[in-house]
Amino acid sequence: MKISKPKVTCCSPLLAGRLTPDEAINLAAIFRVLGEPTRLQMLSLIAVQPNQEVCACELVEPLGLSQPTVSHHLKVMNEAGLLERERRGTWIYYRILPEKLAMLRESLS
């Protein structure tokens, strides 16, 4: 007569916190955008502002970049859904979307 031993598992199932394929694709695209050091620095500069917004022109001097380069990086982050933009006269202001940053934070925890 064979005595069967109860199966003992060492870990909880890995499927509990799993991303869906669509979520993984979306997050990977955002992380690719943030893979550029200048964009991370820009996001950091915007985040520490009182309203978490800046005019594109305000980033030229601290970053030491030309206005077209700054505008390009802001456009890429806007298209990725990290920032929203608002035109005020001839200037464009960019604001962080807190829900997108919260989603990134949650995906890493």
- Report the mean per-residue pLDDT for the chain: 87
The predicted-structure confidence for 22-58, as pLDDT tens digits, reads as follows 988 988 999 999 999 999 999 999 999 998 899 999 9
Sort strands 53-55 and 83-88 into parallel, antiparallel or unpaired.
Answer: unpaired
Q: Assign 85 to helix, strand or coil.
A: strand
pTM: predicted TM-score of the whole model, two decimal places: 0.78
Lowest mean pLDDT among 17-21, 29-33, 57-61, 65-69: 17-21
Name the residue with higher pLDDT: 15 or 7: 7
- Give the closest residue to 94 by CA, choosing from 84, 80, 108: 84
Contacts of 65 (CB under 8 A, 6+ apart): 38, 59, 73
Lowest mean pLDDT among 21-30, 60-69, 75-84: 21-30
**Residue appearing with tokens 């505008």:** 71
- Structural domains in the chain, sorted by start: 23-108 (1.10.10.10)
